[in-house]
Structure formats: C-alpha cells, structure tokens
Amino acid sequence: MFMTDLISRLQAATGSNRELDAEVALANGFTKEHREDLQGPYIRWRGPNGWNSPDPPRYTESIDAALMLVKTDCWWQLIHYSNGSCEAMVVDSNRSWLGKGSTPALALLIAIERAKENSKP
C-alpha cells in the first residue's frame, strides 16, 4: 500500500520536492537517524550502500540521483516530449514498467517504483 501511495504522490508532483525525496529514500532502504552532539540535535540519512548525508538524495530533481535506484539488471529509456510531458521506461529481461511525470526525474522515479512494486515476491 505504501508504494502505491508514493507512486500517486510522484504522479501528482509538478517539480522537485524534498518531502518526496525523503519518502523515496525511506522506500529504498535509507534510514533517517536523529542524533545529537555538542552542537545540538541533527539528522543523518544513511543509505543501504553506506551513503551518509544530512539530507536524502535529490531524487525528484536529478535524473542521476533517480538512476541510482535502477537495478543493475535493468535498462531504462527516457523521453521528454516537446509539449513538456515526460515518459520513462524501466525494462528487465521479462517485463517493462512505464512512468509518466511532469519532469524527466519524476517520470523515471515512477517507472522505477512501479518496477520495484511489481518485483516483490
């Protein structure tokens, strides 16, 4: 259910959104740690690959950040039409998933999250 809600929010987005970036990060194995040191409380994001930062990646803004989520056994295609609409496709050896979004990064994220949702056992 969570993934379907995330996909719906990505489809409704009109541009980059840091709250959505955080949701995408959490849905893809990141943890949000609340810490404190001598200077006070702070937040640390940790990724499944050891990534460590005060903020999640800018998935909704950056195609490169979104591509970090594509499985290595998949290929992808991105189309940005002259009317401004965007489509992305993620393909593995058996299936393909389509994403339509208002920006290339959002379209790619939608396709990636659909692939993840449909690949679960």
The pLDDT mean for the chain works out to 92
Residue 112 belongs to some domain of the structure: yes
- Find the CATH number of the domain harbouring 17: 3.30.160.20
> Within a domain: residue 35?
no
Q: What is the pLDDT of residues 69-119, one digit of tens each?
A: 998 899 999 999 999 899 999 999 899 999 999 999 999 999 999 999 887
Quick check: pTM over 0.75?
yes
Domain hosting 13: range is 2-29+58-119
The string over 13-26, giving b where at least 16 C-beta atoms fall within 10 Å of a residue's C-beta and e elsewhere, is beeebeebbbbbbe
Count of structural domains, the chain: 1
Beta-carbon neighbour count of residue 69 at 10 Å? 20
Amino acid at 37: D
- Among candidate residues 103, 50, 48, 112, the one with its CA nearest the CA of residue 79: 103
38 inside domain = no
Residue 104 lies in a domain: yes
Can you give 72-88 as a three-state secondary structure string?
CCCEEEEEECCCCCEEE
Residue 8 lies in a domain: yes
Kindly state whether residue 111 falls inside one of the protein's structural domains: yes
